[in-house]
Amino acid sequence: MSDTPVIGVLALQGDVREHLIALASADALARPVRRPEELAGVDGLVIPGGESTTMSKLAVLFGMMEPLRERVRAGMPVYGTCAGMIMLADKILDPRAGQETVGGIDMIVRRNAFGRQNESFEASVTVRGIEEDTQGPVEGVFIRAPWVESVGASVQVLAEHRGHMVAVRQKNALATSFHPELTGDHRVHALFVEMVRAVL
């Protein structure tokens, strides 16, 4: 069996291309996923940034919501960035009407917590489990970013910024408020690829 994992990027909406490039740079075979049959063919999945309400509605429209929930419940490794973090939350503090989540991480998330589009920013973030060596902290791009209000006992907090949780992990599920795929630093993706490789 090859130890090169096949990792999908949910391609309903959001920054899909950047994640495909980052995953390929981290030695994964990356492919877009739009339909349940494509989801069935991957070892792990990235849920990208974008607009969480739109992503939720499209997942339902494309018949993806229940297959996503089933795969995540069954232990498929999954990584969500920004809107993807919201999609992986078991609860949203301030959901839009009809907004659904995939769930998988025992956390409560606040949407747009760091402000609107014009308040976007970059910041250095120390992420537990990622070697800083010569590269230093991870550079986080926060765009209408959520933060984690609270977590259950089984959730590891991997990073905080301004006193708020911005990266968490629960078993095979990883989530960040920020967008590492936009910086050219692929260490967070490499961490996720290793999570996927561990269950092959």
What's the pTM value of the predicted model, to 2 decimals?
Answer: 0.97
> Cα–Cα distance between 27 and 143 in angstroms, integer?
27
Q: Cα dist. 183→87, 172, 178 in Å?
A: 22, 24, 11
108 bridge partner residues:
91, 150
- At 50 the three-state DSSP class reads coil
Q: Which residues are catalytic?
A: 82, 179, 181
Say which residues have a Cβ less than 8 Å from residue 98's Cβ, sequence separation at least 6.
56, 57
User: What is the set of domains in the chain, with CATH numbers?
Assistant: 6-197 (3.40.50.880)
Tens place of pLDDT per residue across the chain (200 aa)? 468 999 999 999 999 999 999 999 999 999 999 999 999 999 999 999 999 999 999 999 999 999 999 999 999 999 999 999 999 999 999 888 889 999 999 999 999 999 988 899 999 999 999 988 888 999 999 999 999 999 999 999 999 999 999 999 999 999 999 999 999 999 999 999 999 999 99
